[in-house]
Amino acid sequence: MNYLTIPKPAEASFTEKKSEFIGYISPVSTGDEAVEFINRIKSMHRKARHNVYAYIVREDNISRYSDDGEPQGTAGMPVLDVLRKRGLTDVCVVVTRYFGGILLGGGGLVRAYSHAASLACDAAGIMDMRLCHRLNISADYGMYGKISYILPGFDTMTVSSDFGSDVSLEILVLSEKLEALTNELTEVTNGAAKLEDLGELYADFSSVINNF
């Protein structure tokens, strides 16, 4: 149920034997959005020799790629392999090549397109999207210390906090840890804390998970 994707569009480039390779990456949620992104990059680089692309989207489990005139298997598939090896989805990459007059050969093309795609991925960063619940916790101030002490042990993220007549915390907790957390909160507060499950959603837990 969990998946990895990117938070924002990004780009990166390098030059190999006078050919410039520019990697563009963008989050997408549908095949149509991927095609729109591909066409936008192509329109920016009409004079480029090649605009190679690959994308993977969760909707309908779609993955597509194109060598765009490069020898078969030397461009689009290597870009797609980069996305697959990194476990990314809902993402599209376009690698634009301005030919420098020196042939790279099949192996050189594979390495170049793979490298451009990897640079673009690195530039964008990774989001670890986890299925979680938004949980509201309300309690008196006497319980706040106990509550705040146990939350980090369940890899929670605080969305908001309100220190009014009572303490109100809105947090995100991984779905698989919801039951254990609610049981722990009930126990440490002797049932005094009010817990309201506000529903399930996907959220980026990369900063939380990577710290444990």
Tell me the pLDDT tens digit for each residue of 115-174. Answer: 999 999 999 999 999 999 999 999 999 889 999 999 999 999 999 999 988 899 999 999
Instruction: Tell me the β-bridge partners of 68.
Output: none
46 and 85 inside one domain: yes
Average pLDDT, the chain: 93
15 and 104 inside one domain: yes
83 and 161 inside one domain: no
pLDDT of residue 4: 95
97 and 177 inside one domain: no
pLDDT classification of 1: cutoffs 50, 70, 90: confident
Once rounded to an integer, what is the mean pLDDT over residues 90-106?
93
pLDDT of residue 103: 86
Last residue of a domain, one of 125, 141, 165: 125
Once rounded to an integer, what is the mean pLDDT over residues 103-109?
91
pLDDT tens for 18-51 read 999 999 999 999 999 999 999 999 999 999 999 9
> Which CATH number fits the domain that encloses residue 117?
3.30.230.30
78 and 157 inside one domain: no
pLDDT of residue 208: 66
52 and 139 inside one domain: no
186 and 81 inside one domain: no
28 and 80 inside one domain: yes
pLDDT of residue 212: 40
Does the structure show a pLDDT above 70 at 101?
yes
What is the domain extent for residue 107?
A: 3-125
113 and 25 inside one domain: yes
Phi-psi region of 179 (alpha: psi -120 to 50; beta: other; left: phi over 0): alpha
20 and 93 inside one domain: yes
pLDDT over 90, % of the chain? 83
Last residue of a domain, one of 125, 146, 167: 125
pTM of the predicted model, to two decimals? 0.84
178 and 113 inside one domain: no
Once rounded to an integer, what is the mean pLDDT over residues 76-92?
97
